[in-house]
Structures are given as C-alpha cells and as structure tokens.
Homo-oligomer: A and B are copies of this chain.
Amino acid sequence: MTYAQAPFSTAEYSRRLDLVRAAMEAADLDAIFVTDPSNQAWLTGYDGWSFYVHQGVILPRSGDPVWWGRNMDAVGAGRTVWMGADHIRGYADHYVQSTVRHPMENLALHIRDLGLESSRIGVEMENYYYSAKAHEVLLRNLPLARVVDATGLVNWQRLIKSDEELDFIRRAGRISEKIVRQAIDKAAPGLRKNELVAEIYHAGITGVEEDWGDYPAIVPLTPSGLDATAAHLTWNGAEMRRGEATFFELSGCYRRYHAPLCRTVYLGTPPDEMRRAEAAQIEGIEAGLDAARAGNRTCDIANAFYGVLKSHGIAREGRCGYPVGLSYPPDWGERTASIRPEDETVLRPGMVFHFMPALWMDTWGLETTETILIREDGAAETICNLERKLFVKP
C-alpha cells in the first residue's frame, strides 16, 4: 500500500459527488470552493498536513473536482487524490504567509480560468481554514461572481455513512477499544500523566493487526481531579494520585475515520456522590440509545438522557453529541446536527454520532461515552465494545 492509492472505490467517490451536486442544484450554485480539509478528503482523497496554508477544492456542476494548493502540496495531491494531474493546480511559494500577496489572488485566477468568474459560487464562511481575510481578498478579486455562504453544504452530505465508510469507522473503533483499555490498565498512583499518554499514543498509532493507526483529530484529553471539571485540558507531567478520577477522551483513527470512546478511572474508593452520578449516567445512556432509532430526532436522544439525569437530581444541559466520521484537526465532529434539545434532525440508518453524555461537576468529571450507529430497526448499535462503567482501581 502506498499513498498513491485513494482509500475508497470509484463508485464511492461518485456517490459523494452526486450527493453534493444535488445539494448545489438545490442551492442554485454553479460551483463551490471547499476549504474544510475533511470535505476535501471526502471528495478527492487528498491527505496531508498542509491545511496550515490556503488550499481547497473547486467543484463545478460537472466534471471532476479540481484540487488547488501550494506548489509543494500539489505534489502531495498527486500522491493522494483520485483525479488526474490536469485536475491539480498549484501556486508559487511567494504567496505563503506573505504580507504583500494573498493566495486567494491566485485562486481567483484559476476560477476565471475554469470559466466561473461570473458564476454563483458557494464558500464555507464558517470554517477554520477560510479566514475573514481570505474571503475579503477573494471577493475583491472576483467582482463579477456572486459569492455566497455554503457552510455545511458538503458536511451535511456526510451524515449518512456508506458501507465502505462504516467499515473504516469499525476499524477505528477496534483501535479506540485498545487505547482506552490501555489507559485504564496502566493508570496507577505515581505514574506521570505524560507517561500514560505516551502509552496511549503508542497503542493507537500501532493500531490493531493490519489496521495502522492514524493521528486523531483531537489529542488525548486526560485530566485528573479538579482539572477534570474542565472539558478540554490535555495533560501534563504530574503524577496520578489516589482519591482522584481521571477521564480519557480518546479516539482511534483509521485513515482519518474516528470512533471516539471515553471512560473514567478512579484510583481509590470513589465518593458516594460519584457512584450515584455513575448510576444516573449509565441509565441515561441506555435511555439515549433506546431513543436513537431511525425516524426519531436528535433531540429525542438528548431529552431521554437529560430526563433520566433530572430524575436523579442532576442538572445538565447543552450539547451531548455530534456526528463523527472523517476528520482533520482541530475537531473530530462533523459540525452539522447536534444531539441537543433544540435540534430536530431526523435520524436515518447509517448515521454515526459520538453520544457524549459527560458530567463535569464542581470537584470532578465523569466521562462515559459511545460512538453509535443508527440502524434500520431497533435501538442504536454501539461501535465499540467496552464495559460501560466507572473503572475503579485500588
């Protein structure tokens, strides 16, 4: 296997293009310019850590997509995308992080060259890799085009996974099980947290049998004690201590596909308050899984979970899940539907969510989560198979 091999079948890429073009037609768009690295990879196979400079995919209503980026990354595109070399375009290095030039000046030239200068073009205005400045420069250089916001247009097409994608997610799930188990097995008083994280990385990148591990879109979040009252702290060199809970928010990654899985370990004897919260959380997850059925809505999952918590006297609100699949940093979520009371996305078979019913309390945090697949019939399937509980080590 080399890089010069797109990960999916021709039929799969055709399926994706068809979905996106139907959405473009519905939105009356002649073309879209896609900057989200996940969307770029989903459409073309492009894979490289080059999204720190401007790059993207131009997709007109017909013909193959065009990958555009820095010259040296156009070489990487040649090694990873399924399109021919005539659908890869590069820009010179003097555009990179320059104070006098902007890559969008070059993009405008290519858009003109493709005959799209007077067309209606969708851009992803809410994306990490489409800056306010990029938008300003692009507009100035395409005075005849109608540039409109198409944030999420591609992302929404990714919501229902194909069988080929589910296969990748399941492989990621095996890696997730392995690394969460590794974290729980190794956790011990006196172990420095960074040493634990080193083991997590080693297990995840090694992967499972033939399935090599890719880098997850979020680094391991492994806070202990009071640090676990916050949601997104990473790690440091402090020793693990008796009398503290540590949560592991982790995901295996197989060729950019994710299946996040969180568990919590307590070193010592957990306080009764935490045990009661654990019971409420597990019961709430079961209620959520039962509500996660085709035809129901995302809010039904959230309401089922929050309802159980409330019956146990625990107040929690906000978002408790999001779709996952192919992702690049900084987020492994797809940024479309959310599992929350105000979101009414109808659940369909093949959708995959990270159901994330975490509890961040005043003096500790408790994360127990599942990546779930919506099925044709019945409650959701959990992609990973790992005991659902607070793990306690003496």
Query: Contact residues of A with B, CB < 8 Å?
Result: 1-4, 47-52, 72-73, 75-76, 78-80, 92-94, 96-99, 123, 125-136, 149, 151-152, 192-195, 197-199, 201-207, 210-215, 218-219, 221, 223, 226-227, 229-238, 317-319, 322, 329-331, 333, 335, 338, 340, 342, 360
Contacts and interface: CB of A to CB of B under 8 A. Distances in A.
A45 to B, nearest CB: 13
Of A50, A151, A201, the most chain B CB neighbours within 10 A belong to A201
26 contacts: A1-B238, A3-B236, A47-B233, A47-B234, A49-B218, A50-B232, A52-B128, A72-B230, A73-B232, A76-B232, A79-B226, A79-B229, A80-B233, A96-B319, A128-B128, A130-B131, A131-B131, A194-B205, A195-B205, A198-B201, A198-B202, A198-B206, A210-B237, A212-B235, A329-B329, A330-B330
Of A94, A130, A342, the most chain B CB neighbours within 10 A belong to A94
A75 B229 contact: yes
B237 A212 contact: yes
Ranked nearest first, the 3 interchain pairs of A and B with the lowest CB-CB distance are: A212-B237, A93-B318, A76-B230
A202 B199 CA distance: 7
Nearest to A194: B212
Given A94-B342, A130-B132, A198-B204, 8 more contacts: A4-B226, A50-B231, A75-B360, A94-B340, A97-B338, A126-B133, A131-B132, A195-B206
B192 A197 contact: no
Given A52-B330, A198-B205, A92 B318 contact: yes
A129 B51 CA distance: 13
Contacts of A134: 126, 132
Dominant SS among interface residues on chain A: loop
Nearest to A93: B318
Contacts of A48: 230, 232-234
A269 B79 CA distance: 25
Contacts of A229: 75, 79
A39 to B, nearest CB: 15
Nearest to A149: B133
Contacts of A331: 52
Contacts of A236: 1-3, 212
Contacts of A235: 212
A37 to B, nearest CB: 9
Contacts of A75: 229-231, 360
A51 B335 CA distance: 14
Contacts of A51: 330
Nearest to A37: B330
A303 to B, nearest CB: 15
Given A49-B218, A52-B331, A201-B201, A73 B230 contact: yes
